[in-house]
């Protein structure tokens, strides 16, 4: 099936087919470019690349190199050292203006040539050669492949670049550059001659859109704070003397190059690249600008147009009473829980936790002031530091109010700095275990504590309402069986093997997920039973049950059930009636958790 | 319970307690401000306002008025007319520079005084008086309350504002201003004297953060495209001659005023306002700048630091086979569905649908190429136009491939332009109805079409496996009952009243949500039964069942069930065994939907 996104991109390329502008001629090798050469690439932050035109056509990166070298200078020297040499103010000047501060000679920003040559000189390395090698590898890390240099472009440019040579010497005069200015100049010109295609550029842009993590390789190339800095400078200075216009009309941090490329970044969403070598009077690709404006307008790709991220942070919020643990409680315990479980709350979080999202969470918790809380972060992708700190503050507030939050975080995304200490929150791998912990805690607070395991088994709903006669028949039929840790008790697909009540130890139920991985459903503890659901699925066991620890079970086998049904109708009637109730109870319990989570 | 967000804000206010800077003195009335006056307010996009200090202290809005009047000019005249008079380029100049283009006299941007006076003159209205009234109401719509003017400030300013008077006359000279320049000047000075407190300013900023919708009143004050434009200009020109610095260090569109206020906007997250009248050399509140920098750093409130919105668009995605409809299918039909329902897919979407989110959805659908799709948008908040268009494109692609998408959209968020025509997608109010539609469609495609309603009733799982003897006993006990549309069949809390099989018409099950509203769970159709779940909940009905249309039921009453149990043990055994199977089947079915949606 064709993608409508692909279709859309093709249609706007067709509609924005302008042939305005001229191919750059001031570097002889650039003048040879096919004026009709064209490519568009859009890379998502999970690494899918849509392309139109010749996305594999190579050309020299030219000024699109500037933000990436600036990023490397920031990574190598830190903000303070770089800021001392290069300012971040828009110059309002054309790309080849010298734009140095009259007193210090400090270039106005790293997107003009003077700032870019200075940034190149700030890359760590003994000389221009070494520094260039680092630059080449660095760009490759953004593109996700090894890049190389177009020597013909370098040779052509290094001999004709009089203005940049003048700039380099002027920077040396002000001592903004150290060492021989030809060294920095050669390094800069070689960086401009690095050969890329439009797919590379889109992925380089998408790495910035993705907060510094390359979408395909998954490598963190750049720290978040440096990404923010680079994008800020691109937003205000990336498109030369039309920065205000660009940010109003297109609304994406961007950078253009004289060979005809443009990259644009929509943080958190996509990286874009366009190639068309005919340039407008500002030195930007004419068709590239036209396409970026069109896409921004059509696709609402404006930086200032963002989703309300806070709305989705709390995926669900419901009282503990709506999600009873699978542990079956004796009636007295259940009465305590019925009275108190409404005042404890489960919060399911979701997505990336930024400030607004975590504020939403905190406000919900503060409003509820729950006796106990469960914070389920299994669906959280990324946690900003502010979220981590705020959640820690929330924990302190909860404790001050006599409350406690149990955390469901099997992947450890919260990275609690107190983990391992007695300040740590109770942590669980699944919701049911957290619910069970909260219920036990409520029973300690409001009752005599959780009932012991033997009582839980004796009081199992399948057994507790039976007449003494029926009970003694079933007790006699039930056999004790044991399994060692990790052993499979019931495999998916096997025939109904009876009802199994856990006496000691724990077992886990798993299914196969859509992608073939094992999905953990629930951990079951003493007093819980399993196996009976197969009665509802034509006698076929639909989950795999495995012993987590050494496990002792009471089993009422399928054969026993059949025998009782055939031979002792009165007892069987009680047994089946108890199972009918148990089945509907399970259906109700599960439906209830379903209501709150759908 | 105290909020850790409140706690945090108080702690940074304490830490950023600088007393640098001087209260503005060039307007006599401003010089009287208490230099230690202070307030901080943070408003979320759902209208919660955190405050520290004296958030009710009033002062004149001064230059913070500029973006709002510019917004009104855009709303009144359109972009083209406003752009012809006011450019959007950062000037790099101080606030009181004249900064007009040397040829046309066009002010560089609307955040300098020349641009702001021009913007004021572009508000619709017969004269300055009328225009001002509109301005006053306009600001009030952003603040969410009626505002008024501090006449003392106005009187003090209008007599001493020599530079602005010069600017106004210069603008008249260039014919950028029409009419008498004193008229526009008086209007502008009066606008600067509008009295606000810090809470007002935070809500005005939050209205911009919320895409133009006032968070408390819910009124749309400004169109999205104008919001983007205003924020773009604030980002590049809002902080006078330190725009590059500001956007790098703070990363939020912002505007300051000479009375000591600053607003800052984090789109999609929060509106911030700080008041502290001591100004730095740029004319910005010194403590305000310090606090904004600190909050941006600590709270990662940088514009370029955004969540990966695409990650959360597809909340869930699972085969149709995992969420069978509540309609019980005869075995032959079920066999067809078992074979084919794996190739149809349910997509649950979530949050705001921007480009990246909808691209994610589209890619998932294209990858799956499902035979039929269900797109559930019940949890979608806002749909960008690009999402609407792309989803429409997706529908065309699906149809080309012989597929179809059923939409679950009870609130109508997708606003399908084809609604009502034969191009419209099948639309449903709940997931179960959409699943039922897909199942029927699969049965038409791969079988003999959906089974007729009478067969569904005869083949109900509680009845179909019974021996002829038991079946005839139950048939005799079952009574036909009818209800009219909207009548309550079973009220929540009533005693177990038996098993009810729908013969014709439909019924809905609802529960009360956490906030007391009625939550629709499911619509049930012929062949479905209800009432039996109460057996699992101590005999108490936990949902309310109401007739949607006129309804005919077959009821096996609680009394009949008891009588059979007491008097005909063989039949009762079959009946209870069928119920046990049915209960576990329901539990399994619900658990399965639960697995995929949690």
pLDDT digits (tens, 9 = 90+) for B311-328: 567 877 888 887 776 666
Q: Does A572 touch chain B (CB under 8 A)?
A: yes
Q: Does B160 touch chain A (CB under 8 A)?
A: no
pLDDT of A26 above 90: no
- Overall number of domains in chain A: 3
* B75 and B213 share one domain: yes
pLDDT of A240 above 80: no
- At B7 the pLDDT is 85
pLDDT of A478 above 50: yes
* Top-confidence range, A312-316, A459-463, B366-370, B412-416: B366-370
Q: Which stretch of DSSP H or E encloses residue B315?
A: strand B314-319
Q: Does A366 touch chain B (CB under 8 A)?
A: yes
Give the percent of chain B with pLDDT over 70. Answer: 94
pTM value surpassing 0.90: no
Q: Is A449 left (phi over 0), alpha (psi -120 to 50) or beta?
A: left
What is the C-alpha separation between A298 and A282, in angstroms, rounded? 24
Mean pLDDT across the stretch B172-182? 90
Is residue A271 within 8 A of residue A204, CB to CB? The reply is yes
- At A584 the pLDDT is 87
Residue A303 in any domain: the answer is no
- At B595 the pLDDT is 47
Distances (CA, A) of B357 to A16, A387, A598, B280, B377: 25, 23, 20, 43, 13
Q: Which residues contact B472 (CB under 8 A, 6 or more apart)?
A: none
Mean pLDDT across the stretch A357-364? 85
Q: Which stretch of DSSP H or E encloses residue A503?
A: strand A498-504
* B388 and B494 share one domain: no
* B276 and B375 share one domain: no
Q: In degrees, to the nearest 5, what angle opens at C-alpha A16 toward C-alphas A10 and A20?
A: 140
| Domain end call among B446, B469, B490 | B446
* A480 and A585 share one domain: yes
Q: What is the pLDDT of residues A168-225, one digit of tens each?
A: 999 998 899 988 999 999 999 999 999 999 999 999 999 999 999 999 999 999 998 8
pLDDT of A561 above 70: yes
Give the percent of chain B with pLDDT over 90. Answer: 51
Mutate to test the interface with A, among B2, B223, B313, B356 (most CBs of A within 10 A): B356
Residue B304 in any domain: the answer is no
pLDDT of B271 above 80: yes
Q: Say whether A109 and B594 touch across the interface (CB within 8 A).
A: no
User: Is the model more confident about B494 or about B298?
Assistant: B494
Q: Say whether B593 and A598 touch across the interface (CB within 8 A).
A: yes
pLDDT of A583 above 50: yes
Residue B594, both tokens: 């639960």
What is the C-alpha separation between B297 and A246, in angstroms, rounded? 26
Residue B252 in any domain: the answer is yes
Q: How confident is the model at residue A241 (pLDDT cuts 50, 70, 90)?
A: low
Is residue A116 within 8 A of residue A258, CB to CB? The reply is no
Q: Which of A267, A311, A401 sits opposite B306 (nearest CB)?
A: A267
Query: Half-sphere exposure of A34 toward its Cβ, with a 13 Å CA cutoff?
Result: 9
pLDDT of A326 above 70: no
* B421 and B513 share one domain: no
Query: Half-sphere exposure of A277 toward its Cβ, with a 13 Å CA cutoff?
Result: 21
Minimal CA–CA distance to A145: which of A133, A153, A156, A137? Answer: A137
Mean pLDDT across the stretch A370-378? 93
What is the C-alpha separation between A118 and A73, in angstroms, rounded? 9
Q: Say whether B397 and A45 touch across the interface (CB within 8 A).
A: no
Tell me the residues of chain B between 430 and 469 that have a Cβ less than 8 Å away from chain A: 431
Q: Does ipTM surpass 0.85 in this model?
A: no
Q: What is the pLDDT of residues A3-18, one digit of tens each?
A: 888 888 898 899 988 7
| Domain end call among A395, A417, A446 | A446
Q: How confident is the model at residue B258 (pLDDT cuts 50, 70, 90)?
A: very high
Domain with B167, as residue range(s), is 4-298
Mean pLDDT across the stretch B530-538? 85
Q: What is the pLDDT of residues B75-90, one digit of tens each?
A: 999 999 999 999 988 7
What is the C-alpha separation between B303 and B250, in angstroms, rounded? 8
Q: What is the pLDDT of residues A41-67, one digit of tens each?
A: 999 888 899 999 999 999 999 999 999
Minimal CA–CA distance to B310: which of A382, A241, A260, A462? Answer: A382
Residue B306 in any domain: the answer is no
Tell me the chain B residues in contact with residue A298 when contact means C-beta distances shorter than 8 Å. Answer: 386, 389
Q: DSSP states of A526-570 as a string?
A: TT-EESGGGGGTTTB--SEEEESSSEEEEEEEHHHHHHHHHH-HH
Give the percent of chain A with pLDDT over 90. Answer: 51
Mutate to test the interface with A, among B230, B395, B580 (most CBs of A within 10 A): B580
Q: Which of B229, B242, B298 sits opposite A248 (nearest CB)?
A: B229
Residue B206, both tokens: 């939050």
Mutate to test the interface with A, among B359, B376, B492, B571 (most CBs of A within 10 A): B359
- At B527 the pLDDT is 84
- At B242 the pLDDT is 66
pLDDT of B137 above 50: yes
CATH number, domain at A53? 3.40.710.10
What is the C-alpha separation between B350 and B330, in angstroms, rounded? 34
* A57 and A165 share one domain: yes
Residue B176 in any domain: the answer is yes
Residue B152, both tokens: 């003392």
Report the helix count and the strand count for chain A, using DSSP H and E: 20, 23
Tell me the pairing of strands A427-428 and A404-408.
parallel
pLDDT of B154 above 80: yes
Give the residue from chain B lying closest to A567, CA to CA.
Answer: B570
Mean pLDDT across the stretch B194-200? 98
Distances (CA, A) of B44 to A248, A311, B49, B203, B216: 25, 11, 6, 8, 10
Tokens 């941090």 correspond to A253
Q: Say whether B44 and A360 touch across the interface (CB within 8 A).
A: yes
Q: Does B356 touch chain A (CB under 8 A)?
A: yes
Q: Which of A308, A511, A588 sits opposite B45 (nearest CB)?
A: A308
Residue A67 in any domain: the answer is yes
What is the C-alpha separation between A557 and A470, in angstroms, rounded? 16
Distance from CA of A19 to the nearest CA of B (A): 25
Mean pLDDT across the stretch A137-158? 95
Is residue A45 within 8 A of residue A303, CB to CB? The reply is no
* A144 and A280 share one domain: yes
* B442 and B513 share one domain: no
Mean pLDDT across the stretch A272-288? 92
* A366 and A438 share one domain: yes
Residue A425, both tokens: 């929150």
- At A582 the pLDDT is 87
Query: Half-sphere exposure of B211 toward its Cβ, with a 13 Å CA cutoff?
Result: 16
Q: Which of A359, A576, A589 sits opposite B573 (nearest CB)?
A: A576
Residue A305 in any domain: the answer is no
- At B550 the pLDDT is 96
Instruction: Flag the least confident range among A101-105, B70-74, B150-154, B562-566.
Output: A101-105
Q: How confident is the model at residue A598 (pLDDT cuts 50, 70, 90)?
A: very low
- At A287 the pLDDT is 94
CATH number, domain at A576? 2.60.120.10
What is the C-alpha separation between B107 and B124, in angstroms, rounded? 20
CATH number, domain at B433? 3.30.750.24
Tell me the chain B residues in contact with residue A224 when contact means C-beta distances shorter than 8 Å. Answer: 300, 305
Q: Say whether A594 and B597 touch across the interface (CB within 8 A).
A: yes
pLDDT of A597 above 50: no
* A542 and A564 share one domain: yes
pLDDT of A430 above 80: yes
Is residue A233 within 8 A of residue A73, CB to CB? The reply is no
Q: Which residues contact B136 (CB under 8 A, 6 or more apart)?
A: B147, B148, B149, B194
Q: Is the dihedral of CA B233, A354, B304, B211 positive or negative?
A: negative
- At B326 the pLDDT is 63
Residue B554 in any domain: the answer is yes
Query: Half-sphere exposure of A175 toward its Cβ, with a 13 Å CA cutoff?
Result: 3
Q: What is the pLDDT of residues A480-491, one digit of tens each?
A: 999 999 999 999
Strand-pair partners of A374: A346, A406
Instruction: Flag the least confident range among B5-9, B223-227, B567-571.
Output: B5-9
Q: What is the largest CA-CA distance in chain B?
A: 106
Q: Does A585 touch chain B (CB under 8 A)?
A: yes
Q: Which stretch of DSSP H or E encloses residue B133?
A: helix B128-143
Q: How confident is the model at residue A440 (pLDDT cuts 50, 70, 90)?
A: very high
What is the C-alpha separation between A84 and A104, in angstroms, rounded? 10
Q: Say whether A580 and B576 touch across the interface (CB within 8 A).
A: yes
Q: What is the mean pLDDT of chain A?
A: 88
Give the residue from chain A lying closest to B345, CA to CA.
Answer: A514
Give the residue from chain A lying closest to B352, CA to CA.
Answer: A307
Is residue B90 within 8 A of residue B237, CB to CB? The reply is yes
Q: Say whether A384 and B248 touch across the interface (CB within 8 A).
A: no
Length of chain B: 598
Q: What is the pLDDT of residues B17-48, one digit of tens each?
A: 877 888 887 777 788 889 999 999 999 888 99
- At A595 the pLDDT is 47
Q: DSSP states of B237-289 as a string?
A: HTTGGGHHHHHHHT-S-EEE-TTSEEEEEETTTEEEEEE--EE-TTSSBHHHH
Mutate to test the interface with B, among A304, A347, A563, A588 (most CBs of B within 10 A): A304
Q: How confident is the model at residue B131 (pLDDT cuts 50, 70, 90)?
A: very high
What is the C-alpha separation between A172 and A83, in angstroms, rounded? 17
B300 is in an annotated binding site: no
pLDDT of A308 above 60: no
* B207 and B62 share one domain: yes
Residue A58, both tokens: 């190579």
Q: How confident is the model at residue A503 (pLDDT cuts 50, 70, 90)?
A: very high
Mean pLDDT across the stretch A233-241? 81
| Domain end call among B264, B298, B332 | B298
Q: How confident is the model at residue A523 (pLDDT cuts 50, 70, 90)?
A: confident
* A267 and A342 share one domain: no
Task: Report the 3 state secondary structure along A355-424.
Answer: HHHHHHHHHHHHHHCCCEEEEEEEEEEEECHHHHHHHHHHHHHHHHCCCEEEEECCCCCCCCCCCCCCCC
Tell me the chain B residues in contact with residue A313 when contact means C-beta distances shorter than 8 Å. Answer: none
Q: How confident is the model at residue A358 (pLDDT cuts 50, 70, 90)?
A: confident
Q: How confident is the model at residue A105 (pLDDT cuts 50, 70, 90)?
A: confident
Q: What is the pLDDT of residues B323-366, one digit of tens each?
A: 776 666 777 888 898 899 889 999 988 877 877 788 888 888 98
């Amino acid at each position: 099936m064709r993608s409508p996104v692909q279709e859309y991109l093709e249609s706007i390329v067709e509609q924005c087919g302008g042939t305005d502008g001229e191919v750059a001629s001031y570097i002889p090798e650039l003048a040879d470019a096919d004026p009709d050469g064209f490519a568009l690439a859009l890379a998502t932050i999970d690494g899918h690349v849509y392309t139109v035109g010749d996305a594999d056509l190579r050309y020299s990166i030219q000024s699109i190199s500037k933000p990436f070298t600036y990023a490397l200078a920031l990574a190598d020297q830190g903000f303070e050292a770089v800021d001392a040499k290069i300012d971040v103010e828009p110059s309002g000047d054309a790309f080849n203006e010298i734009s140095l501060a009259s007193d210090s000679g400090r270039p106005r920003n790293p997107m003009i040539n003077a700032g870019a040559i200075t940034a190149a000189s700030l890359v760590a390395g003994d000389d221009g050669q070494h520094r260039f090698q680092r630059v080449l590898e660095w760009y490759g890390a953004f593109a996700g492949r090894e890049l190389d240099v177009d020597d013909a472009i370098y040779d052509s440019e290094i001999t004709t670049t009089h203005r940049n040579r003048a700039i380099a010497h002027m920077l040396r005069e002000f001592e903004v550059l150290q060492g021989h200015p030809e060294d920095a100049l050669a390094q800069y010109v070689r960086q401009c001659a690095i050969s890329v295609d439009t797919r590379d550029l889109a992925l380089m842009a998408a790495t910035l859109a993705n907060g510094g993590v390359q979408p395909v390789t998954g490598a963190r190339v750049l720290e978040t704070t440096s990404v923010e800095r680079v994008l800020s400078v691109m937003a205000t200075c990336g498109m030369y003397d039309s920065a205000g216009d660009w940010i109003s009309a297109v609304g994406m941090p961007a950078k253009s190059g004289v060979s005809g490329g443009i990259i644009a970044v929509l943080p958190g969403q996509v990286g874009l690249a366009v190639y068309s070598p005919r340039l407008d009077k500002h030195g930007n690709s004419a068709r590239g600008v036209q396409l970026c404006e069109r896409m921004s307008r059509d696709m609402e790709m404006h930086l200032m147009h963002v989703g309300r991220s806070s709305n989705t942070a709390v995926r669900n919020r419901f009282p503990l009473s709506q999600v009873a643990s699978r542990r079956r409680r004796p009636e007295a315990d259940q009465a305590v829980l019925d009275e108190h479980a409404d005042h404890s709350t489960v919060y399911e979080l979701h997505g990336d936790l930024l400030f607004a999202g975590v504020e939403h969470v905190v406000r919900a918790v503060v409003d509820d002031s729950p006796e106990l809380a469960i914070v389920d972060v299994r669906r959280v992708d990324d946690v900003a530091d502010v979220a981590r700190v705020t959640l820690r503050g929330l924990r302190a507030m909860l404790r001050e109010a006599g409350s406690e939050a149990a955390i469901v975080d099997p992947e450890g995304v919260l990275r609690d700095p107190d983990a391992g200490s007695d300040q740590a929150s109770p942590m669980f791998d699944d919701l049911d275990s957290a619910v069970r912990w909260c219920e036990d805690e409520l029973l300690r607070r409001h009752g005599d504590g959780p009932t012991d395991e033997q009582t839980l088994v004796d009081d199992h709903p399948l057994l507790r309402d039976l007449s003494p006669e029926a009970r003694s028949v079933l007790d006699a039929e039930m056999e004790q069986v044991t399994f060692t840790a990790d052993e499979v008790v019931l495999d998916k697909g096997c025939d109904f093997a009876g009802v199994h009540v856990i006496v000691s130890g724990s077992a886990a139920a798993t299914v196969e997920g859509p992608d073939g991985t094992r999905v953990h459903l629930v951990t079951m503890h003493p007093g819980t039973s399993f196996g009976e659901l197969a009665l509802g699925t034509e006698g076929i066991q639909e989950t795999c049950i495995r012993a987590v620890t050494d496990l002792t079970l009471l089993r009422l086998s399928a054969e026993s059930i059949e025998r009782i049904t055939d031979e002792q109708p009165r007892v069987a009637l009680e047994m089946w009636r108890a199972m009918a109730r148990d089945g509907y109870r399970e259906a109700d319990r599960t439906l209830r958790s379903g209501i709150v989570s759908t």
